[in-house]
Structure 1
C-alpha cells in the first residue's frame, strides 16, 4: 500500500474541504474514549491551539492521522487513528515511519505521552524504536547524534 505523508494545518483545512472531510472521517472511526470531544470539535480545538496533523495519504484520500504539537524542542504526537477499512494493513506503522523521517529532517525528537497510549500502541512504538523516558511519562524516539537509529523504510 503506497502511503505518503501529508501535513494538514489550519491553512490546509480552511482551503481544502476534502482534507477536513477526511480528517473527520478518520477520527469518527476512533473509539469515543480516545478523543476528548466529538471529531469536529477535537480537530478544531487542536488546530486552534496551533497544532497540526500529519496524515497518511493513499489514492488522494487521507486514511490515517496523528495530531502533532511542536514545542520547539520536540514533536509531541497524540491521537493516532487509522480509518477502519484500512486497519491491519501496516498504515499506522508506515505513518509513524514517515513521521520519524520528517522529524529527523527537522532535527526534532519524537515524544508521545504514556497517558495517551493503550497497550497495543505502546507495543507498536517499542517495535519502532521508541523508548520509555527515565521519567516514565513519555516515549521518545531520539533521531540525532549517537542515539539515532536507522529508520525503517
Structure 2
C-alpha cells in the first residue's frame, strides 16, 4: 500500500476539518489501554502542548499516525496507531521509515521511551533497527549518514 507522509501541527488541525476527523478516527481505533484519554482529547492536548503528528496518507486520507515531540537532538515518538481497516499491510512500518527519513533531513535521531512500550512494541522497534540504549531508558534509531548507516 503506497503511503506518503503528512505532517499535522496545531495550525493544520485547526484549519482542516478533514484532517482533524481522520486523526481522531485513527486514535479512536486504538485500544483504550493505549491512550491516556479519549482520542479527541489526546490529539488536541498533544498539539496544544507543542507536539505534532506525522501521519501515513493514502488516497488523500490519513490512515496512520505517530505522536512526535521535538527537542534539540531528537524526535521523540509515541502512540503509533494505524486504522483497523489498514492494519497488517505495512502501513506502520512504512510510516516509521518515512518519519526516520524526515528526522534525518532535520538532523535528528528518533527515540522512544522504553517504559511506555509493551513487549510486542519493543520487538517491532528492534526489527525496524531501533536499539535499546545503555541503561534501557529509551530505544533509538540513528539514521544520520555520519553514523555509518547502510
TM-score by length of 2: 0.96
Inter-partner Cα distance in structure 2 for 1:128 and 1:77: 14
The 5 Å alignment of 1:84-99 reads: 84-99=84-99
Match in the other structure for 2:106: 106
Match in the other structure for 1:37: 37
Inter-partner Cα distance in structure 2 for 1:106 and 1:145: 12
The answer on whether the counterparts of 1:64 and 1:80 sit within 8 Å (CA) in structure 2 is yes
Match in the other structure for 2:77: 77
How far did 1:145 drift?
A: 5.1
How far did 1:144 drift?
A: 2.4
The answer on whether the counterparts of 1:79 and 1:116 sit within 8 Å (CA) in structure 2 is no
Query: Secondary structure, in 3 states, of the residue corresponding to 2:93?
Result: helix
Inter-partner Cα distance in structure 2 for 1:32 and 1:62: 20
The answer on whether the counterparts of 1:107 and 1:143 sit within 8 Å (CA) in structure 2 is no
Inter-partner Cα distance in structure 2 for 1:17 and 1:108: 30
Moved more, 35-44 or 119-128: 119-128
Match in the other structure for 1:21: 21
Match in the other structure for 2:133: 133
Query: Secondary structure, in 3 states, of the residue corresponding to 2:126?
Result: helix
Query: Secondary structure, in 3 states, of the residue corresponding to 2:88?
Result: coil
What number of residue pairs does the alignment pair up? 150
Using a 3 Å threshold, how does the CA distance of structure 1 residues 111 and 148 change in structure 2: closer, same or farther? farther
Inter-partner Cα distance in structure 1 for 2:7 and 2:117: 22
Match in the other structure for 2:115: 115
How far did 1:147 drift?
A: 2.8
Query: Secondary structure, in 3 states, of the residue corresponding to 1:55?
Result: strand
Where in structure 2 are there 5+ consecutive unaligned residues? Answer: none
Where in structure 1 are there 5+ consecutive unaligned residues? Answer: none
